[in-house]
Amino acid sequence: MTVDVLERQGVGSAGALPATRTPPADTAPAVEPVLSIDGLSVGTGNVDIVIDVSLAVAPGETLCLVGESGCGKSLTCLAAMGLLADPVRLKAGSVSLQGRELTGLDEKHLRQIRGRDMAMIFQDPAASLNPVQRVGRQVAEALVVHEGLGMRAAMHRAVELLDRVGIVNATSRAEAYPHQLSGGMCQRVMIAMALACRPRLIIADESTTALDVTTQAQILKLMKTLQQETGTAMIFVTHDLSVVAEIADRVAVMYSGRIVETGLVDDIFDHPGHPYTRGLMDCRLHALSATSERLAAIAGTVPRPAARPSGCAFRTRCPKAAERCETLPLPRGFAAGQTVACHFSGPAQ
């Protein structure tokens, strides 16, 4: 029934989307990307926070954006959604959704696109949901606004969506206020809202970080299943590499505002090319593969954008740093489909 529900709701264009995930073999997807970001720079005044970021995500593909806090992951997503707020602004670059340029669009047009063609799920559902409105109505709102449904029809579909995201007794839960639901339930509501208009792109910013591990496992599984059914492209921001292992097709690693490595998820885990990626891999802790050895920590912290070192921003924390790191390393091929911005990265064996 699940597919039917979405099928009935939709505009009938499901055939155009591949039902299965098709991870592209190269960093530049062979299929026309759903979203492509090109040379994106974001900042305030004369400080650049995100610098020259280029990304593309294909239909049905999940791209994970990885890095420590303060690396610019969230700002990149907000810029893609056209949600930058003063004093942070777009300085350069383009963002196009299904070939349509979004930068320079006015708020009226952006509002038509957000929620309909692209949707975002944030970390804290409690802060994103309206506390004084019943959750069913909040899901229905998108359908009223974007698909011109009447409130009754929209509510009917909202209940179907809530059922689809695994909320039992959806009919009665639709009448609940957010505070009456658990964190995991609220996050399911957020997913239902994001899915309501069957967007081509979902951006999930640390969407499972605040959840307990059992809830997180359920939500990740749910998002994967729904993605396989609808062929939605997904950008998944996280700092947790085990979540990346669960959900990603491709990975982009960000450090201090730049993308320092991209590649297929297996390649990133099997042979990380950038010292930063390697550092992140090494200080991971997993309950099933624990060692009693001392952890390999990356010394220091991410520099603030205003105090970013010249050249390679990672050089102040990098075990390999040398004189040539004072010039900026350009991204270059490391292995098939894997790009690394480091002077020391030779091709993988």
Partner 1 sequence: MTVAAIELRDVSRHYRGKGSWFLKAEPVRAVDGVDIALNEGETLGIVGESGSGKSTLGRIAAGIEAPSSGHVSFRGAPYAPIGSALWRRQRRNVQVVFQNPSQALDPRLSIAAQIRQPMTAHGIEAGDDTVAEMLARVGLAGLGNRFPHQLSGGQLQRAVIARALALSPDVIVCDEAVSALDVSVQAQILNLLQDLQAEFGVAYLFISHDLGVVRHVSHRIAVMRHGRIVETGPAAVVFAQPQDHYTRSLIAALPAASPAARRARDGRQSASLSKVR
Nearer Cβ to partner 1 (10/23): 23
Minimal distance, residue 211 CB to partner 1, in Å? 9
Three-state SS for 335? strand
Minimal distance, residue 257 CB to partner 1, in Å? 16
The b/e string for 177-195 (b: 16+ C-beta within 10 A; e otherwise) is ebeebeebbbbbbbbbbbb
> What are the residues binding partner 1 (CB under 8 A)?
68-69, 183, 212-214, 216-217, 220, 239-243, 245-246, 248, 265-266, 269-270, 279-280, 283-291, 294-299, 301-302
Nearer Cβ to partner 1 (67/115): 67
Preceding omega of 303 cis (within 30 degrees of 0): no
Minimal distance, residue 68 CB to partner 1, in Å? 4
Minimal distance, residue 203 CB to partner 1, in Å? 20
Site of tokens 């992951």: 73
- List beta partners, residue 234: 62, 202
d(CA 113, CA 128): 19
Nearer Cβ to partner 1 (1/285): 285
Residue 113: how many other CB atoms lie within 10 Å: 19
Nearer Cβ to partner 1 (10/183): 183
What is the maximum alpha-carbon separation in the chain? Answer: 67
Nearer Cβ to partner 1 (156/239): 239
Asked whether the beta carbons of 16 and 327 are under 8 A apart, the reply is no
Of 190, 169, 185, whose CA–CA distance to 218 is shortest?
185
Minimal distance, residue 148 CB to partner 1, in Å? 40
- List beta partners, residue 120: 203
